[in-house]
Amino acid sequence: MDDYSRILRGFGFDPRAGEAPVSLTAYTPVFRAVDSRGEWIVKRTQKPLATAQAVASWVRSMAAEGLRVVSPAGGFGENPRVFGMVDGRDEVWVVYPFIPGSSYHGDLKEISAAGELLGQIHSTLPTHDFGLKTSETVVAVEAHQIELDIESILRRVRSLSPGERADIEESLSERREEYILHALPSLMEAHLPLANCVWDFKASNLIYPSNQTPVLVDPDSGGRIPRAYDLAIAALLFHNEGMGPGRLFNTVEWAAFLGGYGRHLRLTDEESRTWGDLLLCAWVDEALWLLREDNLGWSDPRQSRMLMSLLTTDLSAFPLMA
């Protein structure tokens, strides 16, 4: 029996004998399951188990406060739960209720509602850490790793868009220098407000029921980090994984997202002052890794456009507006 069938059976589901379960996404194993009580999602979550339990406690508390987020389902025994995999690793898995609705289409109302949900998440129970993994500041990337990432990306650009290579190489060099000499040192000295954050807030992790108010259906990357850093990551990666128009937010869309966010939270003067540095650090931490590693995405027409947009868009396109 394959690992995934064994996990589904461990939670009480009955996958068809001889048929390996098929993931709903190519990026990570996520399975839809059905029993007499309804439909469910079974997916991998953070490890170790204590961290997964912290995420579960956090989302249950948000749901109790009225936020539209999924929570681990009852009636499945220990949930989340550790499973030993055939290769010797321990992984943690969780069952969530299946949330019916539509995926993101890029409507401005959807974008504004998404920004509002992120603002609600950041402003709900902000002083209670729930045991989530914590980073007091941005994730620091070593200069050597940045060099390796850039070389890998330039090889990709050379094969896909050779005419743009020189401009992209110059832009990458400028961002590397700005990051190493200014942005990262500046933020290592900053004292930015922490919040319990999604750390992966994007359209592919939202479902929109008929009233256009989204539900966060994948909170499993959650952690306690500077809230403005989480906002910066969302600004850059909201259209990741083939969702939306195959590019970063445009000016109108970003204004809608930020306007929704601002209904629940006002950033501090220090967060506003360091916003450009936060965007660059989010880009170096999250975007460079994605641009290097997303082999599947580069072969997909829509996601490849998104990746090129992520590579070439000027970060000044995401100002903090009043």
Domain locations in the chain as residue ranges = 3-97, 108-317
Tokens of 282: 């989010």
Tokens 């997303």 -> residue:
294
Single out the residue of 154, 147, 155 nearest to residue 168, CA to CA.
154
- pTM listed for this prediction: 0.95
Torsion of CA 77, 81, 86, 88, to 10 degrees: -140
For residue 304, what pLDDT is reported?
A: 93
For residue 17, what pLDDT is reported?
A: 57
Taking the chain (322 residues) in consecutive chunks of 10 residues, what is each chunk's mean pLDDT?
85 78 90 94 97 98 97 97 88 97 94 98 95 97 96 87 80 96 97 97 94 91 98 98 94 97 96 98 97 94 94 96 62
Domain 3-97 has CATH 3.30.200: yes
Tokens 């996990």 -> residue:
7
Domain 108-317 belongs to what topology? Aminoglycoside 3'-phosphotransferase; Chain: A, domain 2 (3.90.1200)
* Residue-wise burial string across 1-19, b where 16 or more C-beta atoms lie within 10 A, e elsewhere: eebbbebbeebebebeeee
- Beta carbons of 121 and 62 less than 8 angstroms apart: yes
